[in-house]
Amino acid sequence: MVDTTQFDLVSPERRLASVAVTAVQIPGADGDMTAMAGHAPTITTLRPGVLSAEGPDGTTDYVVTGGFAEITAVGVTVLAERAMPKSEVTADDMAALIKEAEGALAQAKETFVNEPGPVDDAAKLLADMVAVGDQIRV
């Protein structure tokens, strides 16, 4: 039998998942990672992307915009800034997220003149949101 671990995904709006899984693919800020039973304890920040939870009943994908993932001996807990099942994401949802990221970039450019760090971060956020839209094809 394949080892499973507990997976919980919550956003400020709701709990999206609380299930046993065999693996969770996490879009980490420093690179994608896969958490499985027995994974070393880790905490990582999330970048916008698709988080996949593989379990005995199949794979479920979620779009996340950021947050944190904590991997412990008992499971994986993801606290997302925003999260929604990929199957529920519409073109309008992605357009709104991209527009918000464009606004953040414009604000960063206005506020942080000649300070590349915050502007670069906002540009990366925008690029990640566009990539998510391309990945889920909406």
pLDDT for res 26: 97
Whether residue 25 is predicted with pLDDT greater than 70 in this model: the reply is yes
The DSSP symbol for 126 reads H
Residues 6 or more apart whose CB falls under 8 angstroms from that of 41 comprise 71, 72, 73
**Whole-prediction pTM:** 0.88
The predicted-structure confidence for 41-100, as pLDDT tens digits, reads as follows 999 999 999 999 999 889 999 999 999 999 998 999 999 999 999 999 999 999 999 999
* DSSP class per residue in 30-96: TEEEEE-TTPPPEEEEE-SEEEEEEETTEEEEEEE-SEEEEEETTEEEEEESSEEEGGG--HHHHHH
Q: What is the pLDDT of residues 97-133, one digit of tens each?
A: 999 999 999 999 999 887 888 899 999 989 999 999 8
| Confidence label for 1 from pLDDT (cuts 50, 70 and 90) | very low
